Amino acid sequence: MALYVYKFGGTSVGTVEKIQKVAAKIKRARDKGHQIVVVVSAMSGETNRLVELAQHMQLHPNEREMDVLLSTGEQVTIALLSMALEALECEARSYTGGQIKILTDDSHTKARILKIDKERLHSDLLEGKVAVVAGFQGVTNEGAITTLGRGGSDTTAVALAAALEADECHIYTDVNGVYTTDPRVEPNAQKLDKITFEEMLEMASLGSKVLQIRAVEFAGKYNVALRVLSSFEAGNGTLITYDEESNMEQPLISGIAFNRDEAKITVAGVPDRPGIASKILSPIADNNIEVDMIIQNIALEGNNANFTFTVHRNDYDNALAILENMREALGAKEIKGSNKIVKVSIIGVGMRSHAGVAKKMFTALANENINIELISTSEIKISVLVHEKYLELAVRTLHSTFELDKIKT
Ligand code: ASP
Ligand code: MG
């Protein structure tokens, strides 16, 4: 007998029939004698629909009210799923975040979980009941409803698994695991049986949408055994794990991530003197624009430098305008940029112990005449910025260069 936390995403509970299928799956696990806590998202599309409604009311909707609104999506699914379970004679009880007491801070729309009351859930489990918990929501000390940021149900599930010391946390979704890259871009993408927390965290941060970043961080920190599986297909999915050493032959690269939401800005011909980077980036940061890759190069003649950095595409126009306004104060010759670029990254703990991975990557891209505009690296990843027209070609080229179509995990 084991204790499992199962999380079902929006597409898995998107219709009445799907909710009934989910209920049957939960009942089968319960009938084997397992203790089950279920976390659900809102039915697919529902949270977006609610966001849109709010936008009719206020340009920047009040965040406290936004949370009251957004939390309703999950409240619908917990009730429907509990009914579906009861209809199968599987005793169940639904809980909102406030009822369990998933205590969070008061940063509305992006709250952090502080503490979880497990008494309620434990007593249900002991009575053989399935506890059905609303994902994505919590409550402040003062009793205000909060939400955890988009995709936050993953974090609810992992946090519950940590608090309850569950044997495993299963994230059921519309794909049957974590893939070497997005199969829509590279049809030869392979499902990974295992991936390390570190790699999964990079994948999530670099654009893979399978799991919410915070959920992976949380799972890594509390050592929650996390598995991504399909809601409706059989299979063991992908286990996200710590044991890097026990994998005798760690592949060089485990996956390729990409992000289409990139834009780059270059401040050209600025005087190369102390403080210039901070002068350029301070107004950007003051406007809450996040900067990702940064590169500064010095022109060989004269004493001028070019300073380039990337931002989210949504922030591109704003960032460009801010710097254009400051151009003279910065002493810059020109501010230019492009929002037609994408970031492609290779990720793998295996590259830690191998030299030459970067060379292999750059050579492969060069052979396809793909110009690299910016590079950034860490111990387990290499990211390049390329024109968006090369996205598919770059991903497929790297996928075959690193033999990910033949990966065995
Ligand atoms: N329903 C929320 C969203 O769409 C939370 C989640 O699905 O995890 O972001
Ligand atoms: Mg989700």
In this predicted model, what pLDDT tens digit does every residue of 121-155 receive, in sequence order?
999 999 999 999 999 999 999 999 999 999 999 99
Average pLDDT of span 306-333: 94
For residues 129 and 25, give the distance between their C-alpha atoms in angstroms, rounded to a whole number.
15
Average pLDDT of span 169-197: 93
Residue 296: pLDDT band (50, 70, 90) is confident
> What CATH code is assigned to 3-174?
3.40.1160.10
Residue 251 pLDDT exceeds 80: no
Average pLDDT of span 346-359: 89
For the beta carbon of residue 74, count every other beta carbon within 10 angstroms: 30
**H-only helix segments in 229-287:** 276-286
Predicted pLDDT at 241: 85
Closest CA to 53 of 26, 38, 72, 35: 72
Listed as own residue / partner, the contacts of 291-300 with beta carbons closer than 8 Å and 24 or more positions apart are: 292/262, 292/343, 293/264, 293/343, 293/374, 293/376, 293/383, 293/385, 295/374, 295/375, 298/272, 299/269
| Predicted TM-score (pTM) of this structure | 0.86
- Non-local (6+) Cβ contacts of 23 within 8 A are 81, 84, 85, 87, 88, 90
45-54, 82-91, 328-337: lowest mean pLDDT where?
A: 328-337
CA-nearest residue, atom 4 of ligand 1: 47
Query: Which of ligand 1's atoms lies nearest the C-alpha of 152?
Result: 8
In this predicted model, what pLDDT tens digit does every residue of 18-72 receive, in sequence order?
999 999 999 999 999 999 999 999 999 999 999 999 999 998 899 999 999 999 9
Q: Which residues surround ligand 2, an ion (CB under 5 A)?
A: 9, 151
Boundaries of CATH 3.30.2130.10 in the chain? 256-406
Residue 247 pLDDT exceeds 60: no
Boundaries of CATH 3.40.1160.10 in the chain? 3-174
Average pLDDT of span 233-258: 81
Residue 245: pLDDT band (50, 70, 90) is low
Residue 213: pLDDT band (50, 70, 90) is confident
Query: Which of ligand 1's atoms lies nearest the C-alpha of 48?
Result: 4
Cβ–ligand 1 distance for 42 under 6 Å, the answer yes
Residue 171 pLDDT exceeds 90: yes
Distance 208 CA to ligand 2 centre (A): 12
Mean predicted lDDT score pLDDT of the chain: 93
- Report the first-to-last Cα separation within the chain, whole angstroms: 28
Residue 302 pLDDT exceeds 80: no
Cβ–ligand 1 distance for 383 under 6 Å, the answer no
Predicted pLDDT at 390: 97
Residue 89: pLDDT band (50, 70, 90) is very high
Predicted pLDDT at 248: 53
168-173, strands of its sheet edge to edge? 92-95, 130-134, 35-40, 3-8, 168-173, 226-230, 238-241, 194-196
More confident residue, 79 or 208: 79
For residues 124 and 130, give the distance between their C-alpha atoms in angstroms, rounded to a whole number.
7
Average pLDDT of span 341-370: 93
Pocket test for ligand 1, best of 47, 155, 156 (most atoms within 8 A of CB): 47
Predicted pLDDT at 355: 80
Q: Write the burial class of residue 184 (CB in 10 Å: 0-12 exposed, 13-18 middle, 19+ buried).
A: exposed
Exposure b/e, 250-278, CB count within 10 A at least 16 = b: bbbbbbbbbbeebbbbbbebbebeeebee
In this predicted model, what pLDDT tens digit does every residue of 361-379 receive, in sequence order?
999 999 999 999 999 999 9
Predicted pLDDT at 249: 62
Residue 2 pLDDT exceeds 80: yes
> What CATH code is assigned to 256-406?
3.30.2130.10
Query: Which of ligand 1's atoms lies nearest the C-alpha of 10?
Result: 7
CA dihedral 68, 69, 74, 75 (to 10 degrees): 70
The helix or strand, by DSSP H or E, that contains position 43, with its residue range, turns out to be none
| Contact call for residues 211 and 204 (beta carbons, < 8 A) | yes
For residues 376 and 59, give the distance between their C-alpha atoms in angstroms, rounded to a whole number.
37
